[in-house]
Amino acid sequence: MAGPARGRRAEHGAGLSHHVIHGYRRAYRVEGEGPAILLVHGIGDSSATWAEVIPGLARRHTVIAPDLLGHGASDKPRADYSVAAYANGVRDLLGVLGIERATLVGHSLGGGVAMQFAYQYPEHTDRLILVSAGGVGREVNPVLRAVSLPGADLMLSTLRLPGMRGQVGLFTRLIKLLDTDLGQDAGELLDLVDALPDSTSRSAFISTLRAVVDRRGQVVTMLDRCYLAQGMPTLLLWGSRDGVVPVHHAYGAHAAMPGSRLEIFEGAGHFPFHTDPARFHALVEDFMRTTAPADWSQERWRELMRAGRPGSTEGAPDPAFDRAVDRDLREASERSAT
C-alpha cells in the first residue's frame, strides 16, 4: 500500500504508455508476448512497484501493469474510487488493448480489485493471484484506519512541511530497528510521503482509502462470494510478517476459496515480491504452467449462485465454516462491493 520505492523500482516515467479513456488519461506499462498477465498495484502505489518482476514474466507473457486512476502518472480527478469502479477501469483498459482474457495479479488493494474483476467479469479472467490482498478480512493497520478519518488531508499535508520528512524517516528507522512487523516495510512507508506531493494526489489517496477502510478497519469483503471461485485457479502469496494485512487473512481466504493454493514468504512483510522477487517469479510461472485457464460457464455460475455458500440454507451461516473466516465475514459484510 506504499508508494514507489527508490532504487529498486522503475523510474516513474520509464516505459509508460498513455491512453485517454472516458476523458481521463490512464498510464500503463506493457511488455512481452504470450498469454496476458495483468499486475494491479496497491493503494498509494503505481505500476513501478512491479519493476523487478516484469522483465522475467515478460519472457513468456504479455504483461500489463496500469497506474490505477488517482495513482502514479494517471489522472487524479474527483471520481469514483471504489473497488468496483477500479474493476471497470481494468476491463476498459484491456478492451482498449484488445485483450480478451488475462490472469490477474493483485497486491493489497489491487488484490481486492482483482477479486472484484473476477466476480464482475469471470468470462475475462483466466486465473487469480492474490498478493497480501485486501478484501478478505476486517483487520488492517491502525495507521490506515487513522488516515480514513476526517482531517486526514491536513494530517497528510503536514508531512510535506520542512523537517517533517526527517521525522517520518526517524520513525520508520525506529520501527525497523525494533523488528516490528510494520518495520519490514519501513522503506515503503517512507516513500508514501513522496508519493503524495500535492493536494490532488492526497485527495485521490484519501478517496480511495475511504472506499475500503473506515475507523474500524476494512469495509469491503469478497468472502461472501468466495465460493464462486470454484473452477477459478487461485494462488495466494503472503508475507509471514505482513504489518498491513495480517497473514491470518491468507489462511482465511485459502479456506474460503475452493482449490486455492497458498504460499507464505517467511520473514517478508507486505511486499513479498520485493523481498524475494526470484521466488515470486518462480511461483507465478509454476502456477501458470500447472493450471489451465478458468473454463467459465454461465450455467455453472447460475448453479453456484442458486446453491449459495456450501453448507448454507437460504443465506444462513454455515456452522462448519472456518471460525476466523466466518467472524471476518460477519464484521466486514456491512458494505460489500457489488
153, HSE (Cβ side, Cα atoms, 13 Å): 10
Q: Which amino acid is at 106?
A: G
In the 8-state DSSP scheme, what is residue 157? Answer: H
**Cα–Cα distance, 20 to 167 (Å, whole number):** 39
In sequence order, the 6+-apart residues with CB closer than 8 A to the CB of 209 are 43, 144, 147, 148, 152
Closest to 326 (Cα-Cα) out of 314, 338, 311, 337: 311
Q: Is 336 helix (H, G, I), strand (E, B) or coil?
A: coil
Q: Which residues are catalytic, by number?
A: 108, 242, 270
In sequence order, the 6+-apart residues with CB closer than 8 A to the CB of 137 are 218, 221, 223, 245, 246, 248, 249, 252, 253, 328, 332
**Cα–Cα distance, 121 to 133 (Å, whole number):** 19
CA angle, 87 then 335 then 88, to 5°: 10
**Cα–Cα distance, 128 to 47 (Å, whole number):** 18
Q: 335 to each of 135, 210, 216, 223, 243, how far by Cα in Å?
A: 11, 12, 12, 12, 24
Q: What is the 3-class SS of 172-224, one letter each residue?
A: HHHHHHCCCCHHHHHHHHHHHHHCCCCHHHHHHHHHHHHHHEECCEECCCCHH
The dihedral formed by the CA atoms of 71, 3, 199 and 207, expressed in degrees to the nearest 10: 60
Residue with cell 485457464: 293
Other beta carbons within 10 Å of 259: 11
**Pair 131, 238: CB distance under 8 Å:** yes
